[in-house]
């Protein structure tokens, strides 16, 4: 028996239940996450995290757990964060763990509520502006033993598929499968077996400034005024058109790049 449809518009095929869910999410985009955090529903948070992370793995599971318990420890106000820089997350590694933090907390690179400190540690600090204390959650070093116990093939496949970039499609599929098994096994473990948590005095940056925009005379693109050459050769140009080095966040952390010309600048030279 087919379910009746409730039209949303000329091209809509959402049914009534999904329409109502969409309307609720319009009113409160993080409503489902908020309820899952309050219920400490780690499985639901992990599934929703995988929607942005792309797969299940121990790292994102640890980020989910650290965030759910850290936010509940911080209090109700942290759970109801709306991404306006009142709740802040300071994450210390740019790996799978960080996506668990971003998804669950709602503190992201784009809303400036996520601070990345290039320290390479599996840890996150949550703090609310105006409060003297926050909470820092760190992963205990022996978490690898828990992963190996839950999914013995995980680390050998990680070495082969990710580190060595070897293996075939079957190896990649097996890696995804054992990663999922390890992730869901971790979230069933008691928090204290995997983490330490402590109160800290947070060192937070100021609210993100709203920078003016300017047009680069070289490429014609709109650029933040704080990201153009201020003086000397290339003054007023964006870093790319001026051939200046810049910083970027990549797998190695924050790195300084060399002098690079933008594609539009190179085309102008031909």
189 shares a domain with 87 = yes
Residue 233, domain extent = 213-269
Task: Kindly give, in sequence order, each residue whose CB lies less than 8 Å from that of residue 226, ignoring residues fewer than 6 positions away.
Answer: 211
Give the confidence band of 269 by pLDDT, cuts at 50, 70, 90: very low
CB 50 within 8 A of CB 60: yes
- Stated as kind and residue range, the H or E segment containing 269 is helix 263-269
Residue 4 is assigned to a structural domain of this protein? no
107 shares a domain with 166 = yes
247 shares a domain with 188 = no
218 shares a domain with 187 = no
Which of 251, 256, 248 has its CA nearest to residue 96? 251
221 shares a domain with 124 = no
182 shares a domain with 235 = no
pLDDT digits (tens, 9 = 90+) for 135-187: 999 999 999 999 999 999 999 999 999 999 999 999 999 999 999 999 999 99
Residue 9 has pLDDT above 60, yes or no: no
Residue 205 is assigned to a structural domain of this protein? no
Q: How many CA atoms lie within 13 A of 23 on its CB side?
A: 10
The last residue of a domain, from among 200, 234, 261: 200
pLDDT digits (tens, 9 = 90+) for 213-231: 999 999 999 999 999 998 8
Q: Over range 65-91, report the average pLDDT.
A: 94
- Tell me how many domains the chain contains: 2
24 shares a domain with 73 = yes
Q: Over range 227-253, report the average pLDDT.
A: 92
Average pLDDT, the chain: 91
* Residue 103 confidence (pLDDT): 98
249 shares a domain with 191 = no
Q: Over range 71-77, report the average pLDDT.
A: 92
* Residue 216 confidence (pLDDT): 97
């Amino acid at each position: 028996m087919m379910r009746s449809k409730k039209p949303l518009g000329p091209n809509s095929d959402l049914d009534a239940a999904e329409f109502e869910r969409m309307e609720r999410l319009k009113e409160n985009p993080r409503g489902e996450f908020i309820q899952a955090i309050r219920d400490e529903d780690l499985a639901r948070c992990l599934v929703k995290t995988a929607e942005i992370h792309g797969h299940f793995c121990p790292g994102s599971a640890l980020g989910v757990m650290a965030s759910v318990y850290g936010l509940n420890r911080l209090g109700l106000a942290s759970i109801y964060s709306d991404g306006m820089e009142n709740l802040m997350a300071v994450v210390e590694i740019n790996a799978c763990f960080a996506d668990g933090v971003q998804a669950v907390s709602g503190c992201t690179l784009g809303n400036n509520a996520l601070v990345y400190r290039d320290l390479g540690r599996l840890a996150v600090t949550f703090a609310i502006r105006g409060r003297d204390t926050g909470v820092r959650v760190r992963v205990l070093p022996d978490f690898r033993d828990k992963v190996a116990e839950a999914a013995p093939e995980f680390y050998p496949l990680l070495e082969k598929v990710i580190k060595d970039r070897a293996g075939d499609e079957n190896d990649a599929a097996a890696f995804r499968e054992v990663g999922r098994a390890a992730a869901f096994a971790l979230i069933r473990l008691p928090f204290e077996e995997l983490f330490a948590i402590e109160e800290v005095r947070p060192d937070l940056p100021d609210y993100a400034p709203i920078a003016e925009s300017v047009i680069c005379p070289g490429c014609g693109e709109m650029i933040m005024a704080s990201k153009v050459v201020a003086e000397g050769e290339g003054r007023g140009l964006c870093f790319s058109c001026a051939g200046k080095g810049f910083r970027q966040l990549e797998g190695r952390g924050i790195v300084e790049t060399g002098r690079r010309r933008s594609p539009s600048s190179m085309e102008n030279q031909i």
